[in-house]
Amino acid sequence: MARNQYFVVLHDGQWKISFNQKHFGPFNTQADAIRAAVDAAHSAGRNGKDAQVLVQGRDNRFRTEWTYGNDPYPPPG
């Protein structure tokens, strides 16, 4: 099964969510973008999709932030 991946990225100086080659946002903070991405991924997971949130770091590499079925919802913090 293909995994739905929600990427939290800094795009043109604003935090956005990239999903299926489209950008959503902007969000005021990275934390706001992560929360929105986790909510979207959780919804996809509840609908039977394998879903994951990845966050772009300062080095432009992505790290896994949240995975449906592996991490608590809502996430702490």
Q: How confident is the model at residue 75 (pLDDT cuts 50, 70, 90)?
A: confident
Contact indicator for 22, 69 with CB cutoff of 8 Å: no
pLDDT in tens, 61-74: 999 999 998 998 88
- Evaluate the omega torsion of the peptide bond into residue 75 and state whether it is cis, within 30 degrees of 0: no
Q: How confident is the model at residue 1 (pLDDT cuts 50, 70, 90)?
A: low
pLDDT in tens, 23-48: 999 999 999 999 999 999 999 999 99
Structure tokens at 55: 């966050």
The residue extents of the domains of the chain are 3-67
Give the pTM.
Answer: 0.91
